[in-house]
């Protein structure tokens, strides 16, 4: 979009955002716009009505193209240098690196309690979502010393990984093209004792109904055995159901319990849900994935942007929202998430205050299953 003047670009971007929400209509026919090309045409038409010049002067285009732009962001403890904020990261919607940084700056106060003191894996996209991407766990040598780190033991030796414990680190990672931070299910002081148990409901197609039903079924059984659960859109294809834990059990114990729950839930709706790991055997069923409950595994951080068209966000929900019309895993985006938090507090705000015991839950679960089996025998 660099060929357009700033004012024209503004109207084109507004039209594209309305198009992505399904709200854009042609001014001439009143019909819904059905393609990006039409959306751009509507934006250009609106710009002309407002007297904007369609294109930048050639000299200005050349000047901008050859200029390396840098800015500084000052925070309480450190200053972060921002490079090339104008770089397009999401071509379909015109979202730039600067937009990504601005989003993480705005959401930091809400997001940081969910990621603080957790080991991070960075999903980086140096050339935006259409370019090559890679996961990076080990902290590069050139990262500043003020970013907090910890040594993580592996099968052979250890590696140094970082935590996002302040806004400066969050912004620095965004400037390093880390679109999506992923976090461990345990905290840094006790890496082998998770304080989160997670179920990832991953669909084989785009149908949302079975995902929603599976999430509710998980919520109900977890509540029956004494575990409160929270739900989140992934910003990709499905939902995460997360239960806060008291850290009395290690990863092996938690994963074993999560497997039992997942298998029982799948058995209740065998035509819709499965724990089958091989994709070719799942058919159209939703995969109830419990395998992330392992040392060294991670899940997308709450409020993280995903590298999908439109910049959808992994968004914590209230259970009351799950049945609302229009909900889908990519509903909330970098563009509309801040408005959501104006209208509603973070649904996961109290998640740390309500940890449950897997050890007690497993005993209750076995008693529950035993009671059901005896009932079936009668």
pLDDT of residue 92: 94
| pLDDT band with cut points at 50, 70 and 90 for residue 123 | very high
Of 58-67, 69-78, 310-319, 325-334, the one with minimum mean pLDDT is 58-67
Dump pLDDT digits (tens) for 250-305: 999 999 999 999 999 999 999 999 999 998 899 999 999 999 999 999 999 999 99
| pLDDT band with cut points at 50, 70 and 90 for residue 52 | low
Of 3.40.50.300, 3.90.920.10, 3.30.70.20, 1.10.1370.30, the CATH number of 190-297+315-370 is 3.90.920.10
Question: Tell me, what DSSP letter sits at residue 168?
Answer: H
Would you tell me how many other CB atoms lie within 10 Å of the CB of residue 190? 11
Dump pLDDT digits (tens) for 156-204: 899 999 999 999 999 999 999 999 999 999 999 999 999 999 999 999 8
Cα separation, 154 vs 296, whole angstroms: 8
Question: Tell me, what DSSP letter sits at residue 188?
Answer: G
Of 3.10.105.10, 3.90.920.10, 3.40.1440.60, 3.40.50.880, the CATH number of 70-184 is 3.90.920.10
Name 274's bridge partners.
287
pTM above 0.85, yes or no: no
Cα separation, 230 vs 222, whole angstroms: 11
């Amino acid at each position: 979009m660099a060929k357009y003047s700033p004012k024209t670009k503004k109207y084109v971007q507004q039209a594209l955002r309305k198009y992505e929400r399904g709200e854009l209509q042609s001014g001439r026919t009143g019909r819904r716009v059905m393609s990006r090309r039409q959306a751009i045409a509507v934006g250009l038409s609106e710009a002309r009505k407002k007297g904007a010049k369609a294109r930048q002067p050639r000299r200005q285009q050349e000047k901008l193209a050859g200029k390396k732009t840098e800015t500084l962001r000052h925070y309480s403890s450190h200053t972060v240098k921002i490079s090339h904020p104008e770089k397009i990261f999401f071509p379909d919607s015109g979202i730039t690196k600067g937009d990504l940084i601005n989003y993480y700056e705005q959401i930091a106060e809400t997001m940081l309690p969910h990621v603080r003191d957790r080991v991070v894996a960075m999903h980086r996209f140096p050339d935006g979502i259409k370019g090559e991407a890679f996961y990076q766990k080990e902290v590069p040598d050139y990262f500043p010393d003020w970013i907090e780190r910890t040594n993580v033991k592996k099968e052979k030796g250890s590696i140094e990984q970082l935590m996002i414990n302040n806004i400066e680190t969050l912004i620095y990672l965004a400037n390093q093209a880390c679109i999506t931070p992923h976090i461990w299910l345990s905290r840094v002081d006790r890496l082998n004792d998770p304080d989160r148990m997670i179920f990832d409901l991953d669909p084989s197609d785009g149908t949302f109904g079975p995902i929603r039903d599976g999430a509710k079924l998980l919520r109900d059984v977890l509540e029956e055995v004494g575990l409160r659960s929270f739900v989140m859109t992934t910003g990709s294809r499905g939902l995460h159901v997360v239960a806060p834990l008291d850290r009395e059990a290690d990863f092996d114990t938690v994963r074993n319990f999560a497997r039992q729950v997942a298998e029982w839930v799948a058995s209740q709706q065998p035509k819709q849900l499965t724990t089958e790991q091989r994709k070719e055997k799942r058919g159209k069923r939703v995969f109830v994935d419990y395998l992330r409950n392992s040392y060294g595994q991670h899940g997308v951080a709450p409020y993280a942007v995903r590298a999908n068209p439109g910049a959808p966000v992994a968004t914590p929900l209230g259970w009351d929202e799950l049945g609302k019309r229009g909900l889908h895993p990519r509903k909330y985006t970098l563009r509309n998430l801040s408005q959501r938090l104006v209208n509603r507090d973070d649904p996961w705000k109290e998640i740390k205050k309500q940890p449950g015991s897997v050890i007690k839950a497993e005993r209750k679960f076995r008693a529950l299953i035993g009671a059901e089996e005896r009932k079936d025998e009668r």
